[in-house]
Structure 1
């Protein structure tokens, strides 16, 4: 039934048969599809609003004197919306989960208690395993995180060297003129390759750390492995993005005192703003990761299945038994289970891979959404195909997972809550620190023409020049950067000064008062943004109960029924123990 009505590309937009999935695969797999389906539905309003923000920036791109595509007022509102959206998604998911687990009669089920019961059944004198803490494990975790951060720094060095070499020795004018952008693209591709390599290393290390830890139950092992693996993957994917978002173009110094790697200067932000570099990084990584992963996820098991069919074909021969009757040979009788046996292997952590992929995507969708408003749309399109792809893979291409009972998605709920909090902080910092939203705000109301009473021009007229500082070529402090007191342009003009983005004095390169005002407003905005959004998140969490009233009443009646049955049984044993003994 699942093969015909669910695991088909023709049913791409049909509802998910959660109860049927539960009956065949168990509650654990059914809750994964329930969560993924709910996540995909909630992505629809986020994707629609993200497209509106993108089109808004695109519509006013040519008429805007600042030439910013994403760094606008709509981005700020969208970042606040996505932070609240993450909370509402989790709260409504808890309600959906409660409704289904109550229907499946597993609301009060506990995996650890079931493991203890099985241990007691096998050995009545068994003792539970004690909790342990390993300082060696914690040290190894920190060492691996340092290595991952070091890889992010290596990517920075690669971009710096690549940009310098392409600008100096490239034979293509386009590459030479856009060396920094091309270097960012190459860095993003290299980052994706690093992610694929580190994923396998992270998995092996996480397994070894769980073995060292010696957890007291399989559920505890699963939780420990989930936390470690997600932490390693999160740092692998986002360490480079955090550098681009918060450090790129801010630690490279100024003329006469540039920070260098060997003889090459650190990379600068894109002329239109640092958010453009972050947008390029996220777009490349997210598109590559989702597209290539889905291709491999489907083609590898499918190719293995076709190869097995070709090599292990069952010929429909007939044989005579001892009585002389004609019947199919044993090889044909065993065809079904042999075919299933040769499908792709599965284990207890097979479902973990699917959860990890989707939770990482959730991180991309929420954490840096201020720089990439199209992330929810890409996630929505991917998930529509992901649901059907996973269904086809589980039903047709892989061995059947051992059904496991559960009433929640486990530690993933805590991980999603942590991502929601991190998304508030990251988006607040992206808008307040990385974008030009605050400098534009300060200019409009403090230094711009409208602030000075001039109303016949655009309020942001002259903003770009206001953000530029001047460096004179004959200044004694910049002889290492310029060999001559003049620089001849391609049009034959002898320039004696250059402009660069910063708030610095032309005499001694000291920071101006405008820099400190902008910095103060930046920090004030970050604090205000985070407090407002966090308060909104708490209000949303309070306003939406975790369990519907109907579920609470059903649980109340169920507890009353079980309590009444227990009391009647105890009374029967007390009144007529001989009859109970005979019945037993």
Structure 2
């Protein structure tokens, strides 16, 4: 927990010292600085103040607003900048006359050494005290095969490993400070400056103290606040600028020609901070694990492809003497005609690609794969915590900081039990109306998704008769073989329409959910993000998966039978599955939605910021003779925003759902996800490096709430895949026929198609459902297990139906228990933290304590001088402390 008393003391100290040191001579220097500067002597790539010495750590921009509250905003800026100077920050203002657009002011901020060391201690930033003697993990023999994917060691490990300790101003000699200008990396510098900006006051309004850059940005007092990129991405920096890490990232990470290379994770962490770094670690690890699932899924697909021509079921359907002689009952009332089974020949062959013996194996494999993925990710995360000095990490302060909106709306104050300070407090009864509105809004929009899905179903039912009458009026009773059956045609068009509706609903809901979350007035940024995550995930889950759940578990399950069909709204007859089952339609639906979302997402991520930046630069470059400086170039880039990473996680988790929840119906889903993620990594790297302003570095030791969501989806995926194999696939009825009902010993599956179709007497059709044209045959066939019309139990389910149902339920129970047992054993066998990481953590803690112990002893010796007895006594005390600390480790 943060020591707020300590923080406030440091801030008050900074204010007092700066007020004393800001003399009139220094003030006049700030005022007259512009006249001393020659604009033509500055490089447009410079990231320094005009003196070429002080590095720019942060930039604020604003435009004079003459329309509304201009005087109030000017007063706020004046007070804010005065208080920034009081904290010790150094400011330099660029007049609008020197900017490209002729209207934007830029406030450049530099944090001097005293400010950095003060707030490094406040924030508990760990800095190096000694180069580590723990060797990096050695490559295994198989890793040499992966040589082409490896990056140069200078890129992969840009800095040596160090033993680190929390920085302290009073122990500066302990730390490896070779150059004060480069000791703190730029990511730490901008993190410190943003911390000061987020807590700096700008006045008292309505009797309340107002503070924080976020509040000023929300009120348009400032138009933007951002740290600078350290150079151009297309060329290395020239002295005196520091090493251009942005250029190195672009060369080794953001280029699409490097799609097969590993990521420079340490460099990403150093430049963008741990929070963005851990996202790319997760995305890279997920992509690596997808490779194994993709290989197995591709093997299952190839098996289906090779066995397609030898599949007995599709052979019988395509045989003119078998499938060609089976007259099927109409698929809709009156306008639909009878049709021959062999008209679905090609559809049955394609269905076999995804509905064969390997389907069961792949469903079980994916249940185990998802467990291995999550368990190995926990290990990878633990290793990352050690490598990135996050073992003792506490939640980032800016996540726990009160939101300005919360403080503005609060009229009550309450004593914080931890900090013992009075803080803004909002009683629950004032939030209840907004919580109710929020819950009602989320429920309404999820209902809207279900309504839109029903509308698509009605669309399919409405146009099905048109397709059927058009495609079957002349050829339905001829022995033809066509892939574009009415079922497949309406399924394709319906899936495309459903995908368009999904994108439209998703676009509007994103705006509404953000507005509703703000109206709830969350206390902290962490609460805001958690609330938004819950809303967005619930909606995305219903929006993207509802149609797949419908096809997998509801379509064709409540149809009834000829003469007694069930109807939707008493008007439209319920949809039937193809004689080969609904699995091919589920595959079609999944392919269109998953592939369409991934293609649309990548195009949007690449084109949207590119177009906005082009338009912004086009508007800004009105004075080509002016210096287009680094801060102006970054100002014209798109802002990544506080929720940029949230949407990246949401996209990845949604894809994870497609890969796991319905993968039994589409073994190629992991392969499509793998290809997308390879592109996604480079698209994200390219846009962050070239199209977005540099983000403020922040820490995170895990992927947060997304990990819990992944665990929930992993458990759900076992059940969904078991039900897909049992109720959507045709594998269980085939196995029941193979072992219990087949009469052919040499070819057990012969006769399965005829066995799976029941007989209906045409004379039993009600007048309003029978085709208007009379036919010379007296029976038709339909997919079900029912007694024939000449039996005393006419049209009731026969014994085989109950045998198949019992087999399906048995399979679900057995598969779930087997997979969950394996999941439990794997979770028990695989430790969350690898043994070598535990040993490394212990070794580093021990060495850190020893270094600190030796430092304090040497310091004590210097203070005590030649008094050896006193020194010996102190040595004994310190050694006892060290032994005690060692024993606790």
TM-score range relative to shorter protein: 0.7 to 0.9
The answer to whether structure 1 residue 416 and structure 2 residue 710 are counterparts is yes
How far the C-alpha of 1:65 sits from its partner, in A, is 0.9
How far the C-alpha of 1:497 sits from its partner, in A, is 0.6
Counterpart secondary structure, 2:780 = strand
Moved more, 111-120 or 190-199: 111-120
Q: Distance in 1 between matches of 2:705 and 2:385?
A: 17
TM-score for both structures, normalised by structure 2: 0.58
Correspondences of 1:252-263 after superposition (within 5 Å): 252-261=559-568, 263=571
How far the C-alpha of 1:311 sits from its partner, in A, is 4.4
Q: Does the 8 A contact of 2:275 with 2:701 survive in 1?
A: yes
Find the counterpart in structure 1 of residue 749 from structure 2.
Answer: 460
Counterpart secondary structure, 1:541 = helix
Cα distance change of structure 1 residues 108 and 500 upon mapping to structure 2, 3 Å threshold: same
Counterpart secondary structure, 1:470 = strand
Find the counterpart in structure 1 of residue 769 from structure 2.
Answer: 481
Find the counterpart in structure 2 of residue 346 from structure 1.
Answer: 640
Find the counterpart in structure 2 of residue 101 from structure 1.
Answer: 385
Moved more, 550-559 or 21-30: 550-559
Q: Distance in 2 between matches of 1:177 and 1:146?
A: 33
Find the counterpart in structure 2 of residue 373 from structure 1.
Answer: 667
Counterpart secondary structure, 1:272 = coil
Correspondences of 1:122-521 after superposition (within 5 Å): 125-127=421-423, 134=432, 136=436, 137-168=438-469, 178-261=485-568, 263-313=571-621, 317=625, 331-332=626-627, 334-449=628-743, 454-455=744-745, 457-475=746-764, 478-482=766-770, 487-488=774-775, 494-507=776-789, 508-521=794-807
Counterpart secondary structure, 1:147 = helix
How far the C-alpha of 1:554 sits from its partner, in A, is 3.1
Cα distance change of structure 1 residues 131 and 560 upon mapping to structure 2, 3 Å threshold: farther
Cα distance change of structure 1 residues 40 and 129 upon mapping to structure 2, 3 Å threshold: farther
Give the number of aligned pairs: 551
CA distances 1:11-51 after superposition (whole Å, capped 9, x unpaired): 22221011111111111110111001111111111111111
1:57 counterpart (291, 304, 307):
304
CA distances 1:64-89 after superposition (whole Å, capped 9, x unpaired): 11232211111110111111111111
1:530 counterpart (794, 804, 816):
816
How far the C-alpha of 1:534 sits from its partner, in A, is 0.8
Q: Does the 8 A contact of 2:661 with 2:720 survive in 1?
A: yes
Find the counterpart in structure 2 of residue 328 from structure 1.
Answer: none
The answer to whether structure 1 residue 71 and structure 2 residue 355 are counterparts is yes
Cα distance change of structure 1 residues 116 and 45 upon mapping to structure 2, 3 Å threshold: closer
Cα distance change of structure 1 residues 479 and 337 upon mapping to structure 2, 3 Å threshold: same
How far the C-alpha of 1:191 sits from its partner, in A, is 1.3
Q: Does the 8 A contact of 1:131 with 1:216 survive in 2?
A: no
Q: Distance in 1 between matches of 2:425 and 2:848?
A: 31
Counterpart secondary structure, 1:66 = helix
Q: Does the 8 A contact of 2:458 with 2:572 survive in 1?
A: no
How far the C-alpha of 1:540 sits from its partner, in A, is 1.3
- Which structure has the highest helix share of the two? 1
The answer to whether structure 1 residue 44 and structure 2 residue 295 are counterparts is no
How far the C-alpha of 1:439 sits from its partner, in A, is 0.8
Find the counterpart in structure 2 of residue 491 from structure 1.
Answer: none
TM-score for both structures, normalised by structure 1: 0.87
How far the C-alpha of 1:526 sits from its partner, in A, is 0.5
Q: Distance in 1 between matches of 2:474 and 2:698?
A: 60
Cα distance change of structure 1 residues 196 and 163 upon mapping to structure 2, 3 Å threshold: same
Q: Name the Cα RMSD after superposition.
A: 3.2
Q: Distance in 1 between matches of 2:657 and 2:616?
A: 38
How far the C-alpha of 1:487 sits from its partner, in A, is 4.2
How far the C-alpha of 1:516 sits from its partner, in A, is 1.2
Q: Does the 8 A contact of 1:79 with 1:427 survive in 2?
A: yes
Q: Does the 8 A contact of 1:131 with 1:215 survive in 2?
A: no
Q: Does the 8 A contact of 2:400 with 2:525 survive in 1?
A: no
Find the counterpart in structure 2 of residue 549 from structure 1.
Answer: 835
Find the counterpart in structure 2 of residue 322 from structure 1.
Answer: none
Q: Distance in 1 between matches of 2:576 and 2:619?
A: 57
Q: Does the 8 A contact of 2:265 with 2:277 survive in 1?
A: yes
Q: Does the 8 A contact of 1:202 with 1:233 survive in 2?
A: no
Q: Distance in 2 between matches of 1:391 and 1:116?
A: 28
Cα distance change of structure 1 residues 103 and 131 upon mapping to structure 2, 3 Å threshold: farther
2:376 counterpart (75, 81, 92):
92
Bigger-Rg structure (1/2):
2
Cα distance change of structure 1 residues 74 and 92 upon mapping to structure 2, 3 Å threshold: same
Q: Distance in 1 between matches of 2:464 and 2:750?
A: 32
Counterpart secondary structure, 1:363 = helix
Unaligned runs of 5+ in 1: 318-330, 489-493, 579-584
Q: Distance in 1 between matches of 2:734 and 2:813?
A: 18
Q: Distance in 2 between matches of 1:49 and 1:41?
A: 14
Q: Distance in 2 between matches of 1:210 and 1:565?
A: 48
Counterpart secondary structure, 1:525 = helix
Cα distance change of structure 1 residues 409 and 74 upon mapping to structure 2, 3 Å threshold: same
Q: Does the 8 A contact of 2:719 with 2:816 survive in 1?
A: yes
CA distances 1:85-129 after superposition (whole Å, capped 9, x unpaired): 111111111111211221111123222666558999xx9724486
Counterpart secondary structure, 1:110 = coil
Moved more, 527-536 or 559-568: 559-568
Q: Distance in 1 between matches of 2:585 and 2:423?
A: 57
CA distances 1:425-451 after superposition (whole Å, capped 9, x unpaired): 1000000111111111111111112xx
How far the C-alpha of 1:558 sits from its partner, in A, is 4.8
How far the C-alpha of 1:173 sits from its partner, in A, is 8.1
Counterpart secondary structure, 1:471 = strand
The answer to whether structure 1 residue 33 and structure 2 residue 334 are counterparts is no
Q: Distance in 1 between matches of 2:742 and 2:427?
A: 63
Moved more, 192-201 or 260-269: 260-269
Unaligned runs of 5+ in 2: 1-247, 315-351, 404-415, 476-481, 865-889
The structure whose RCO (Cα within 8 Å, separation 6+) is larger is: 1
